[in-house]
A and B are shown apart, each in its own frame.
Chain A
């Protein structure tokens, strides 16, 4: 009964033969990789013997065939954001395809698709235009081909529901034009006209995700669901402390477990651990998962735990609390904070502490590799297929061309599955045992060996002058940098990390100083859904709420006032490093105070902020632009009969530019609120270099009874360039929650996890 189907021939065995996309060589000949990876001018012929399906793939993302099937290639990874639906639907809308008949296939790792790193909430931002262009180019060709057939002008033709339609009402299926398309020249980009927004049928609407039914029937294929003939399963015991080395090990008990076949040592690189290298460990290879898990427990490993074995995370917090009391490295300066505070009528001085977080993706890391002499094929739930390919090739000492990375659905990502360490493990173990292997992480492995969101300490001082105006803002931030995972000399937060919700403090305050302090990384630090925005937004928004209270003002009114005129901000002259703007030039994606005000006003209006609230409940407010998306949030809290915190209502207002798939925008915010509430209530702690928490009992994730209830997502009807929504829901939720808790209980929250 064991299923043997290889994943790459998923469901329809015809898929493979139909999918013919231009080879890499064709692209290199053309030579110009346009931003985003869309390539025009690629044309080729693949007409088979008579009667065979003819395929036309004018670019790497769209395949038409004479059976009238439109196949769209999803080249970015689906981890729950809906991107596997949202990018294809942009193409389908420009193309005029029949969405209900579209087939979507997942791309393997290949440079020809352009950027595949599904991270940083930039899939839609980067690919909105290229996807439109891809669809519009094929539409252009289809109308040309039909017009020629009908001896009319192409301008008299348009596409609709998978057909070309003439102004006199003639119709022809796309599939019937495929043979004609093959003989045509690709149009020049300037000949291709994009649709007006008003004629979109899919963009800006609720489009259900492509995989909904497969998921609801258990048929969707996630990483661990890939099954290969003769595949073994490996579970790895990794060094409990990052940088540890196995001096020796005894696998005799493990090998006695029925089903356990052998053990394989995996070499780690010690310290620094790196972002794409496995940790040192011993893999127990078995013929089933259960045996491998038991084998892992039965291993006796003698460790040299290395330099991090005396690391205590709470002690490091104490050190960080000390360091923020002194002067740090100045990263942004406007005016002179010291003189502002010297002449202030009042100075608020507050310190904020946020713990480490683990991603705890519902699907723990897992990867399958099938190594053969000269070729290694991998199946993995990876956010970054191209990095996985490079990392595997490097680890095996093979050229990249000999490594194929297939991408499955991801059971959650949140940044964890960008890092290819677990994929490399599978490749190494497969090579060692000369058989296909699935490396399966247990939940404990996942909680113990993550790339954690860094713990942080922040101190903010605010000077109020004699008129109660905010005259000075001094923000100290300290946390181990992601960069330190590869380079231990990186002791300060990087420019990039400060760009995540700290350095771009947008309010009109005459004197601003932002400072950082040194701290070391004693574990692997990585990025987790919204990254440094999590702690920065918490501290800044909690402080601003306190400032409003000190001024006797409503925080919403205060912030609108402090944003000043509607205008584009430029921080560069005050910043000591680079202002990253999430990788986008400011002229293309300006930092606009008017857009921030609009989301503040909208959320205040929708939540009836000004009207107040019944006793026993309270509302809190916060605003945070992140990943170029503007978000304001109101959280309502109450206590249930047992004194437990409840979140009955949440309002979000979001300006993410032109909304693409409104249903998935809402779902990201609904889920983002839940994700953020989990962060507010839990944390990871290290003792003697080892993570104390083991599973969902110690590292809790909220469950349905605690979950925020009515989450209203108000999407602004924006004409601006679209920006992402995967991460932006998280940052403002936590401070809005804490500000609400203060109003309910009278206790200001300076430290997470939140204790109510």
Chain B
């Protein structure tokens, strides 16, 4: 067990956990931040995506010991009132079906638009290819990203 000081959604938070514990379980089990989801544990599905210094990472395969002071942003932290342009576009296009993958989808979309505010269809496809949606909401995700890119 080790002490870690994490910057999550702009707040500094201390945790005492094994250094190999994936960030996902630190968020979900230790900090009770349940928005980030577990889908595969192997970096294959994207359900657990958060931003680390702005880059999308798969927290299920990212040991807390590797965070090393980088800034973490989770689904709970992209807006105060749930009104980030990506979130608004998600509601406008009624993207979710079951909704389980959508935190991860939204975080990948936010990361994409942060570095590429006007993505082409192909940019979207390659940026989103790490996120599985078993319900098959891919086309609405793409439309919502295009809408969000106009409202950034």
Residues of A in contact with B (beta carbons under 8 Å apart) = 1-3, 78-82, 206, 208-209, 211-213, 215-222, 224-225, 227, 233, 258-259, 288-290, 293, 360-364, 409-414, 440, 442-444, 663, 667-668, 670-675, 678, 695-697, 701, 703-705, 707-711
Contact = CB atoms under 8 A, between A and B. Distances in A.
A704 B142 contact: yes
Contacts of B47: 362
B34 to A, nearest CB: 4
Given A361-B134, A705-B125, A217 B34 contact: no
B74 interface: yes
A290 B25 contact: yes
B30 interface: yes
Contacts of B28: 224, 289
B138 A212 contact: no
12 contacts: A80-B96, A212-B90, A217-B79, A217-B87, A222-B99, A224-B37, A227-B32, A290-B21, A361-B100, A673-B136, A674-B135, A696-B132
A1 B41 contact: no
B111 interface: no
A278 B130 CA distance: 33
A442 B41 contact: yes
Given A212-B90, A222-B99, A443-B45, 17 more contacts: A78-B98, A80-B135, A208-B91, A212-B96, A216-B90, A288-B25, A293-B41, A361-B98, A361-B100, A362-B45, A409-B98, A411-B99, A413-B98, A443-B41, A667-B140, A671-B97, A701-B132
A219 B35 contact: yes
Interface in B1-41: 1, 13, 18, 21-22, 25, 28-32, 34-41
Contacts of A225: 34
A233 B29 contact: yes
A440 B25 CA distance: 12
Contacts of A703: 128-132, 138
Interface string B31-62: 11011111111101101000000000000000
Contact of A697 (B39, B42, B75): B42
Contact of A443 (B18, B40, B103, B136): B40
B135 A412 contact: yes
Given A361-B134, A443-B40, A709-B139, A209 B29 contact: no
What's the dominant secondary structure at chain B's contact region?
A: loop
What's the dominant secondary structure at chain A's contact region?
A: loop
A1 B98 contact: no
B25 A675 contact: no
Interface in B100-152: 100-103, 106, 124-126, 128-142
B94 interface: yes
A733 to B, nearest CB: 11
Given A409-B98, A443-B42, A212 B22 contact: no
A224 B97 contact: no
B103 A218 contact: yes
Contact of A667 (B32, B42, B74, B94): B94
Contact of B99 (A80, A670, A675): A80
B99 A211 contact: yes
Contacts of A216: 82, 87, 90-91, 95-96, 102, 106
B97 A81 contact: yes
B139 to A, nearest CB: 6
B96 A209 contact: yes
Contacts of B100: 222, 361-363, 411-412
Nearest to B1: A258
A258 B75 contact: no
A49 to B, nearest CB: 37
Contacts of A697: 42, 44
B148 to A, nearest CB: 11
Q: Which 5 A-B pairs have the closest CB atoms?
A: A218-B35, A674-B136, A411-B100, A80-B98, A218-B75
Given A217-B82, A218-B75, A663 B128 contact: no
Q: Which of B28, B100, B128, B132 has the most CB of A within 10 A?
A: B100
Contacts of A675: 134-136
Contacts of A663: 94
Contacts of B38: 224, 289, 364, 440
A643 B96 CA distance: 31
A566 B133 CA distance: 40
B151 to A, nearest CB: 14
B125 A667 contact: no
Contacts of A215: 90, 96, 99, 102-103
A224 B40 CA distance: 14
A711 to B, nearest CB: 6
Contacts of A711: 139
Nearest to B144: A216
Contacts of B22: 290
A440 B37 CA distance: 12
